Amino acid sequence: MIKVEVRLYATLRRYYPEAGADGAAVLEMAEGATLTDLLPRFGVPREEAKIFFVNNRQQGDDYLLRDGDRVAIFPLVAGG
């Protein structure tokens, strides 16, 4: 098992309302888990999670998680 720290941002925060002030959740995941394997743990539909950062670097959803990774998940963001 590995431990990862996960934060959901913007509209995805509604899937983790019990987040503390820093918004972080620490999860235990199986070895070989990917970023998309995190989504069901929060009930986030795959189509809503568009941007993934691991340790401050953007990654694809097939990234293999490692012990101690810090993950940030964002919806598609629009702005002007």
Secondary structure (DSSP) of 44-76: --GGG--EEEETTEEE-TTPBP-TT-EEEEE--
Per-residue pLDDT of the chain (80 residues; tens, 9 = 90+): 999 999 999 899 999 888 766 778 999 999 999 999 999 999 999 999 999 999 999 999 999 999 999 999 999 876 65
- Residue 79 in domain: no
- Residue 18 in domain: yes
- Residue 70 in domain: yes
What is the residue whose two structure tokens read 């394997």?
A: 37
The count of structural domains within the chain is 1
At 62 the pLDDT is 93
Range of the domain at 61: 2-74
At 78 the pLDDT is 65
- Residue 10 in domain: yes
- Residue 51 in domain: yes
Any idea what the CATH number is for the domain that residue 62 is in?
3.10.20.30
